[in-house]
Structure 1
Amino acid sequence: MNKVEMFCLLCAQPLRIVPSWKTLLIRNFSPCLCEKCASKFERSSTTTALYQYNDAMKKYLHQYKFLQDVALAKVFRQELHAQFKRETATIIPIPMHPIKQQERTFSHTEELLNAAIIPYKQLLEKTTIETQSSKNREQRIKSAPLFRLMSTAQVEHKDYLLFDDIQTTGTTLRHAKQVLLEAGARNVRTFTLING
């Protein structure tokens, strides 16, 4: 098979990829980072996140979320696919407020799951355009409810898994979890790409 020339999504260095039957037969995504860029991300020591927040992750999040580089949703698709491919709980990405999503043009949590080909269901909607990153720890903990059920949502007595890009104080996930449990969910777990 011929080599396919692609480029690292973060530094634009060429990646030499040789397609194989393994890539075609099993869900094995083509690499989109060079080894140097990939080595800058620090794996999380927790079981509820893939990576630890560091300078490389800060730059990644800025480029992905705030510079609207939606192609960067592919960066962690292999790891997310491996994490969720056997998940039996219904996965719910943390939603953005519609105004924020219109400004940003895409939902960062949904795009991460889409890139990894992970099915999910949206049952929640954000009630405020304020971001948790603009608040200090005490303000986050005292926040008014951040979410409500969508008008068409039906929460069943089963397991759900909330997915977000980053967890710092856990306020966002705690608020979303409470809404689902009060609506009748049997169990709600959480998982994030990054532990802040």
Structure 2
Amino acid sequence: MLSCLICNGPLICTNTWGKLLSLSNSSSLCEQCSSKLEKIKGETCSICDRPFSNLAPEYRQENTCLDCMKWQKDNRWQDILIKNRSVYTYNPFLKETLSLFKFRGDHAISQIFKQDFKRTFTKHFDKKSIIVPIPLSNERLYERGFNQAKVLAELLHLPISEPLTRIHLEKQSKKSRSERLRTTNIFHLKESIKLKGAEIVLIDDIYTTGTTLRHAAEILKEAGALSVSSLTLARG
């Protein structure tokens, strides 16, 4: 009997035409676990995809959140990242699931996100875009054994480019928001990379402050990219 990739409970397959024709993740998750993945819906920030449902009115200006307004008012960062789109909200269930995926090396868990990730990409981005996963440092890659952003990018079944390298620093998850914002650029461009006029979609697991994505986008724009957007699995 097939079991759920998260809770290992039995999968009860009730094959209906709706399920067979849908893009659901029912083949790898039980209904209880699947219901805990909260897809982003309703009104969101036009830049970072932050849901407005639980955001106080004073933290938004028309269709943009206050955080993105601050980015846009900074001459260095204005329009560096055109937009981010995320699939799920970063709730406790997804936090634990990503911990299994990233830190415990359960590579197979990425498959539960496949259809929703592909659907979100198709809805918001052009398939002709250059797909660039956010890289890990060599030290972090050795520690984990794989780059979770690249695994997510591979779910799209599109050509992947890896023009960036990353400096090894303290884990971003351990830093406060203000510390992340003060971090110097941790990315470098590989030699002989041509990006003039390219439209790029960065891939990463979580959008939190947007600092990491903007640092990567800054380097790519300096290398000639026409535009840089991002697709992340979760919006923190």
TM-score for the superposition, normalised by structure 1: 0.87
SS of corresponding position for 2:178: helix
The 3 A distance-change label for structure 1 pair 132 and 180 is: same
Match of 2:157 among 117, 130, 135: 117
Measure, in 2, the Cα distance between the counterparts of 1:141 and 1:16: 46
Structure 1 residues 73 and 118, CA gap change in structure 2 (3 angstroms): farther
- Alpha-carbon distance in 2 for matches of 1:77, 1:11: 18
- Aligned counterparts of 2:20 and 2:153: Cα–Cα separation in 1: 20
- Give the superposition deviation at 1:103: 0.7
* Residues 1:147 and 2:184 are matched in the alignment: no
1:156 partner amino acid: K
Question: Which ranges in structure 1 are unaligned for 5 or more consecutive residues?
Answer: none
Deviations 1:39-60 (A, max 9, x none): 1111124441111111101111
The CA deviation string for residues 93-120 of structure 1, in whole angstroms up to 9 with x for no partner, is 1111111011101110111222443432
Cα distance change on mapping 1:68 and 1:121 into 2, 3 Å = same
Q: Secondary structure at the match of 2:230?
A: strand
What letter matches 1:67 in structure 2?
R
| Alignment partners' CA distance in 2, 1:29 and 1:54 | 18
Where do 1:32-71 residues align within 5 Å? 32-45=28-41, 46=44, 47=49, 48-71=85-108
- CA shift in 2, pair 1:92/1:19, >3 Å: farther
How far has the Cα of 1:70 moved from its partner? 0.8
In 2, Cα distance between the equivalents of 1:182 and 1:124?
12
**Residues 145 and 156 of structure 1, relative CA distance in 2, 3 Å threshold:** same
Partner of 1:105: 145
Q: Deviations over 1:52-84 (max 9, x none)?
A: 111101111111111111111111001112233
- Structure 2 residue 232 is matched with structure 1 residue 192: yes
Letter in 2 for 1:71: A
Partners of 2:169 and 2:192 lie apart in 1 by 21
Alignment partner, residue 58 of structure 2: none
Amino acid at match of 1:88: K
Give the whole-Å Cα distance in 2 for the aligned partners of 1:184 and 1:173.
17
- In 2, distance between residues paired with 1:27 and 1:57? 19
Amino acid at match of 1:195: R
Aligned to 2:9: 13
Q: Quick one: percent identity of the two aligned structures?
A: 35
- Partners in 2 of 1:32 and 1:16 — Cα distance? 11
Residues 3-28 of structure 1 show CA distances to partners (whole Å, capped at 9, x for unaligned) of xx4211001122245899xx999998
| Aligned 8 A contact 1:97 1:127 in 2 | yes
Q: CA RMSD, aligned part only? A: 2.7
- Of stretches 82-91 and 59-68 in structure 1, the one that deviates more from structure 2 is 82-91
The answer to which structure has the higher strand fraction is: 1
Per the alignment, in what secondary structure is the counterpart of residue 7 of structure 1?
coil
Counterpart amino acid of residue 134 in structure 1? K
Secondary structure of the corresponding residue to residue 165 of structure 1? strand
- How do 1:53-92 and structure 2 match up within 5 A? 53-85=90-122, 87-92=127-132
Aligned length: 192
Q: What is the 5 A alignment of 1:156-167?
A: 156-167=196-207
Partner of 2:170: 130
Q: CA deviation at 1:130?
A: 2.3
Shift of 1:147: 0.6
